[in-house]
A and B are shown apart, each in its own frame.
Chain A
Amino acid sequence: GQNIDQPTEMTATEGAIVQINCTYQTSGFNGLFWYQQHAGEAPTFLSYNVLDGLEEKGRFSSFLSRSKGYSYLLLKELQMKDSASYLCAVRFSSSGSARQLTFGSGTQLTVLP
């Protein structure tokens, strides 16, 4: 299968740094996405990694290691509004459509004051 694993829940304090991990099956890997989703809303795009290394975008960074089938999303200077579900999604070349995404179960992040 195309299992994508990420922690179900995480809690952190306002102003702190949190790292959300995601592991996936390496066979057929063709890109990894992170999305943020607030309750009752559609996901919003955060980052895209297809090559190894760190992609930094403001307070958010995403890392990828293709050989290990591993990614993380790093959130710095946490704010209360960062409380949301964070979805790791992978594009596999074996999928029916070239642009089809397979989503992990999501990590519910709670930021405490």
Chain B
Amino acid sequence: GAVVSQHPSWVICKSGTSVKIECRSLDFQATTMFWYRQFPKQSLMLMATSNEGSKATYEQGVEKDKFLINHASLTLSTLTVTSAHPEDSSFYICSDSGNSYEQYFGPGTRLTVT
């Protein structure tokens, strides 16, 4: 299957700072990528759909000005958490759109805001 990488795998930042997370599709040109957030012992919640060359589509309740998504190329999407707060601490996972039968997930990024 396709390989999706994420960087960094974990990050600790201070409250009020911004953090950028990269998601790369290594062997698949993805016009669409998905960003999920997962709190401890909960399931994946879709935050937004990242579209190459156009604006991201955000799910209800997700602040687009706080979670900036850029999908400038077919293999790279970035999520920037701006003015991070402790409640933003979570596991962020991206996936590419895959094929009809599978969606390929990155290894995830653990964000801790102190």
- Give the size of the chain B interface in residues (CB under 8 angstroms): 25
| Chain B residues closer than 8 Å to A41, beta-carbon distance | 107-108
A43–B34 alpha-carbon span in the complex (Å): 14
Residue pair A105, B42 in contact (C-beta under 8 Å): yes
CB distance from B106 to the nearest CB of A (A): 6
Please indicate which of the listed interface residues B45, B93, B103 has the most CB atoms of chain A within 10 Å of its own CB.
Answer: B103
Let me know if A100 is at the binding interface, CB within 8 A: yes
Residue pair B43, A100 in contact (C-beta under 8 Å): no
CB distance from A68 to the nearest CB of B (A): 22
Let me know if A113 is at the binding interface, CB within 8 A: no
- Interface 0/1 of A99-110, CB less than 8 Å to B: 111111110100
Residues of B near any A CB (own CB < 8 A): 1, 32, 34, 41-46, 49, 57, 91, 93, 97-98, 100-108, 110
What are 18 A-B pairs with beta-carbon distances under 8 A?
Answer: A31-B100, A33-B103, A40-B91, A40-B108, A40-B110, A41-B107, A41-B108, A42-B93, A42-B105, A42-B108, A43-B93, A43-B105, A45-B103, A96-B49, A101-B34, A103-B44, A104-B43, A106-B42
